[in-house]
Amino acid sequence: MSDRTTIALDAMGGDRAPDMVVAGCELARVRYPDVTFVLVGDESRLRPLVSGRRRLDANVELLHAEQVVSNDDKPSVALRNRRQSSMRMALDLVREGKAAGAVSAGNTGALMAMAKLVLRTIPGVDRPAIASIFPTERGETVMLDLGANVQCAAENLVQFAVLGEVFARVVLGLQKPTVGLLNIGAEELKGNDAVREAASVLREVSLPLRFKGFVEGNDIGAGTVDVVVTDGFTGNVALKTAEGTARLCTTFIRQAFRSSLLASLGYLLARGALRRMRDRVDPRRYNGAIFLGLEGIAVKSHGGTDALGFANAIGVAVDMARHGFIDRIRQELNDLGLATEAARRAAVG
């Protein structure tokens, strides 16, 4: 690639910003030496942080922003009154084509609202979704929506399936990703209307998408499919339940190792292996909630993350940019529209 990729960073978003963002940027620079990072935020605070890290010089530009979006700002307020904020200006850079993507660890609701307004949704997408990558027994799975849309109609779920499938193919590099709709195992009346309708559309429409039907909550961790599609309410609960359960397991293991002298000794011996295990499920490795369905790349880092986590969120944005994710999505959605239209004509005629 001759052109350098540019990524805009909301330097003021996140519990430990701006220090954490600058440190994360420094980590990302090592992995992506040919990417330019635009740090958007309070220049008087950013300048000393950047000049203290000499190797950042060649890769970093600063863009001063007067305002900051706080975690308490309601999305509607942020839209109206935070036009000069670091978050908004980072997204503006993406819209203007000056950056390929934006990363922020700030207020999720505000970021989603601003991203929708500034970047706009891709034709064929009614509502963008939030996606994330989960570790599984078989590798990695993408799940969406994780909270952008509390209630979803069947067509939203169908669109999410396409968005997630392209993400798994383009960004995770899977050849022919499989897609499942999250449902429950109740007899007779499986799931709600939206889920059943979406399933019948995905079964009938001819798309290069490998739809595997319904999956259940335990299939997320099992890695039964590469893409799990659900509404934002269910997805958010599933995401946080998985996080909580993983934390519970860690607590129980820690208590087990501390419960006797022999167990403590065992821990000392197994320590290295256990650390590698923990790294596999390290939430920082899977940091980066991706806003899918927009005319630009926007990644939300966890607000409480550290430099390593933020660097991983940056990595997601870089990967999406380099693989031309938005163009691929546009193409697939166009195909979905044509396929749906063809199916409708076939049903009528």
36 binds a second copy (CB under 8 A): no
Cα separation, 91 vs 69, in Å, equals 13
From residue 117, how far is each of 50, 83, 101, 255 by CA, in Å? 31, 12, 15, 48
Instruction: Tell me the closest approach of the beta carbon of residue 109 to a second copy, in angstroms.
Output: 3
Instruction: Tell me the closest approach of the beta carbon of residue 59 to a second copy, in angstroms.
Output: 33
**Which residue, among 197, 180, 204, 193, has the nearest Cα to 336 in the 3D structure?**
204
188 binds a second copy (CB under 8 A): yes
- 62 vs 237, beta carbon nearer a second copy: 237
Cα separation, 214 vs 179, in Å, equals 9
Q: What are phi and psi for residue 341, nearest 5 degrees?
A: -60, -45
Instruction: Tell me the closest approach of the beta carbon of residue 262 to a second copy, in angstroms.
Output: 5
**Which residue, among 150, 146, 106, has the nearest Cα to 130 in the 3D structure?**
146
Instruction: Tell me the closest approach of the beta carbon of residue 215 to a second copy, in angstroms.
Output: 10
Options 96-104, 119-127, 187-195, 201-209: segment touching a second copy (CB under 8 A): 187-195
Question: Count of residues binding a second copy (CB under 8 A)?
Answer: 73
Given the DSSP bridges, would you call strands 60-64 and 35-41 parallel, antiparallel or unpaired? parallel
Options 17-25, 56-64, 120-128, 184-192: segment touching a second copy (CB under 8 A): 184-192
- 147 vs 315, beta carbon nearer a second copy: 147
Tokens 């109609």 sit on residue: 153
Q: Pick from 187, 345, 347, 348: which binds a second copy (CB under 8 A)?
A: 187
277 binds a second copy (CB under 8 A): yes
Q: Pick from 239, 290, 297, 320: which binds a second copy (CB under 8 A)?
A: 239
Cα separation, 166 vs 227, in Å, equals 10
Cα separation, 60 vs 128, in Å, equals 30
80 binds a second copy (CB under 8 A): no
Options 83-91, 178-186, 203-211, 312-320: segment touching a second copy (CB under 8 A): 178-186
245 binds a second copy (CB under 8 A): yes
H-helix segments, 212-304: 218-222, 232-257, 261-280
262 binds a second copy (CB under 8 A): yes
Instruction: Tell me the closest approach of the beta carbon of residue 41 to a second copy, in angstroms.
Output: 21
**Which residue, among 169, 193, 170, has the nearest Cα to 179 in the 3D structure?**
169
184 binds a second copy (CB under 8 A): yes
In the region spanning residues 307 to 336, those forming contacts with a second copy, defined by CB under 8 A, are: none
